[in-house]
Amino acid sequence: MTYKSHIETLAIHAGQEPDSATGAVITPIYQTSTYIQSEVGVLKGFDYSRTANPTRLALEQCLAALEGLELDQPTYGLAFSSGMAAIDTLLRLIKPGEHVLVSNDVYGGTYRLFERVLKEFGILFSYVDIGDPNQVEKNLREETRLVWLETPTNPLLKIADIAEILRRVKLFSPQILVAVDNTFASPYLQQPLAQGADFVIHSTTKYIGGHSDVIGGAIISKEAKHYEQLKFLQNSIGAVPGIMDCWLTLRGIKTLALRMERHSENAAKVSKFLNEHPAVDHVIYPGLVNHAGHLVAKKQMKMFGGMVSIILKGGENAARKMVEATRIFSLAESLGGVESLIEIPAVMTHASVAGSPLEVPAGLVRLSVGIESVDDLIADLDQALSTL
Please pick, among 88, 105, 161, 181, the residue that the annotation labels catalytic: 181
Please pick, among 19, 50, 132, 170, the residue that the annotation labels catalytic: 50
Separation between Cα atoms, residue 259 and residue 267, nearest integer Å: 12
Report yes or no: 216 and 204 within 8 Å, Cβ to Cβ: yes
Write the CA distances from 172 to 168, 202, 220, integer angstroms.
6, 27, 24
Please pick, among 76, 88, 105, 107, the residue that the annotation labels catalytic: 107
Separation between Cα atoms, residue 227 and residue 222, nearest integer Å: 8
DSSP string, 75-106: -EEEEESSHHHHHHHHHTTSPTT-EEEEETT-
Active site residue 222: no
Separation between Cα atoms, residue 270 and residue 254, nearest integer Å: 26
Active site residue 47: no
Separation between Cα atoms, residue 33 and residue 261, nearest integer Å: 38
| 291 burial type by CB count under 10 A (0-12 exposed, 13-18 middle, 19+ buried) | buried
**44 HSE (CA, 13 A, CB side):** 9
Q: Which residue type is seen at 292? A: A
Q: Centre a 10 Å sphere on the Cβ of residue 240 and count the other Cβ atoms it contains.
A: 22
Separation between Cα atoms, residue 157 and residue 365, nearest integer Å: 12
* Helix/strand number for the chain, H first, E second: 13, 12
Separation between Cα atoms, residue 243 and residue 29, nearest integer Å: 7
Report yes or no: 218 and 85 within 8 Å, Cβ to Cβ: no
Q: Centre a 10 Å sphere on the Cβ of residue 39 and count the other Cβ atoms it contains.
A: 6
- 181-203 per-residue burial string, b: 16 or more CB within 10 A, e: under 16: bbbbbbbbbbbbbbbbbbbbbbb
Measure the N-to-C terminal CA separation of the chain; round to a whole number of Å: 60
Please pick, among 56, 112, 206, 231, the residue that the annotation labels catalytic: 206
φ, ψ for residue 138, nearest 5 deg? -65, -25
List the beta bridge partners of residue 36. none
Active site residue 207: no
Active site residue 206: yes
Task: Cite the active site residues.
Answer: 50, 107, 181, 206
